Each structure stands twice: as structure tokens, then as C-alpha cells.
Amino acid sequence: MSDVAALIDDLEAEHRELYDVVAALSTDEWLAPTPAWGWDVRDTIAHLADTDELAIGTATAGEYALNDMAARAASAEDLTFQGVRRGRRMPGAGVGHWWEQTSADLRTTLAALPADARIPWGLGMRTPSFVTARLMETWAHGLDVRAALGVDAPDSDRLAHVAWLATRALPYAFSVAGQQMPAAALRVELVLPSGAVWTYGPEDAADRITGPAGEYCRVFVQRRSRADTTLEIRGDAALAAISVARAYL
């Protein structure tokens, strides 16, 4: 995960695939409801544009930075909704152009960051993790957009980045859930769309999560319940991990 240029290339690929989905939507299609309650396609893309701007401001110590804006917001939900409110003052196509510009600006900003920079996003992230977090959010919200439009959401091996971030975020996920992280080591073995296997954790760990990367990642971005997957979960620590799964702040 240390090759920032390669990560940014993958982020751009994620952006461009979603651009292709929304580039020529009709007015009605922009207003199609997504699985995220109360949000339509326009709302979702507006949220991505707004969080891209927040990411740029945070990475460059600008005025529009996450922790500063969070301190001014009435709640975390209000902060999340601010981009939606901005988007609802624009036509769908305008929101699409807004996001296309912010995502390009974001990639330029990310490419200029030192690889070892620490960005004050939430608890703080190094540049590779920060890029990966933007890729994860684009992918997750892209699932919602495609579901709203009845468009297939084919998986790619870029899910390795999402899986890495999700697994590394487990201490945070346990803290949000108000639980102590189990001491037992966890092994994760996931099959990527290409057939390659992505792994994390000690090979000899008794607690294990194995299965398709797409299913694992969807659980961690809370787009699918564990019960609706073919994931194999062995051991109490593995069960606890999948129960608190979350890959975002």
C-alpha cells in the first residue's frame, strides 16, 4: 500500500467507472432513490464532491478541512448532509460536473503529498491510507448509485485496497462499537475477481475469515449483511470482527 502513484491510478479508475455511469443521466435518473434512505443519485454524487473538497482542504490545511468543519457542525450527520444540501440547489448534471472537477482536483492534491505525510482526517492517516479511504468511499457510494439505476456493479481487484483499509480499521470499528478488540490474531483470506488471493494476518491464526473479496468489502461498507454472504467465519475473534465491521469514520 506504499506506492502512492499506483494507488492514485486505481482511484482514478474508480472515479472514471462511476463517471461513465452518471455522465448522461436524465433528470429523472438523477432523482432515482438509492438504498441509502432519503438519498437519491444526485445526493450521493454531491456527497462525494463535498467530501472530495473536504479531503483537499484537510490535506492542504485549507479553511474547508474535516476536523474544523466537524467542530462547527451540529452533529456528524449534519456534517455528512452538508454536501447533499449543496447538491440539491443544482440540477443533476451540474452536480455531475462538480464532482468531476473535485475528483480531478483531489487526485492532483494527493499526487503532491509526501508519501509519509500525516493528514488530520479523523484520527489521522498517512497518505497511502488517505488515498485508499477516498477509493473506498467512491466504490461504496458507487454501489448505491448503480443499485438506484439498475446497473451492474462489477468488482475489480481494486477491492484489495478496500479489504486492506477495512481490516486495518478494525481497532477503530471495535472502539465505535464500544467493545474491546479481541487479543486473538485474525487471518483474512479473500479471493479477488481475478482469482488472486489477498491475505492479511498470521497464516497459523485459528480465527479466520475467508471468502469472496466483494462480499467481505460490502459487509465492511455496510452494503450487505453478513447473513447474506458465503463468507466462512471461524472463531470468536473472527465473529466479533465481522459483527462490528465498518470501513469509514
Sequence ranges of the domains in the chain: 4-149, 159-243
CA distance 196 to 16: 24
Q: In what order do the strands lie in the sheet with 186-191?
A: 197-200, 186-191, 207-212, 232-234
CA-angle at 201, arms to 196 and 202, nearest 5°? 105
Does the pTM surpass 0.85? The reply is yes
Amino acid at 49: A
Whether 4-149 shares its CATH topology with 159-243 is answered no
Sequence-separated (6 or more) residues with CB below 8 Å from residue 4: 110, 111, 113, 115, 127, 128, 131
Mean pLDDT of the chain: 95
CA distance 31 to 29: 5
What is the DSSP track for 13-37? HHHHHHHHHHTT--HHHHTPBPSST
- State residue 1's pLDDT score: 44
CA distance 198 to 182: 22
CB atoms within 10 A of CB 123: 9
Options 1.10.3720.10, 1.20.120.450, 3.40.50.20, 3.30.565.10; CATH of 4-149:
1.20.120.450
- State residue 2's pLDDT score: 55
Q: What is the pLDDT of residues 56-115, one digit of tens each?
A: 999 999 999 998 998 888 988 888 899 999 999 999 999 999 999 999 999 999 999 999
What class does CATH assign to 159-243? alpha beta
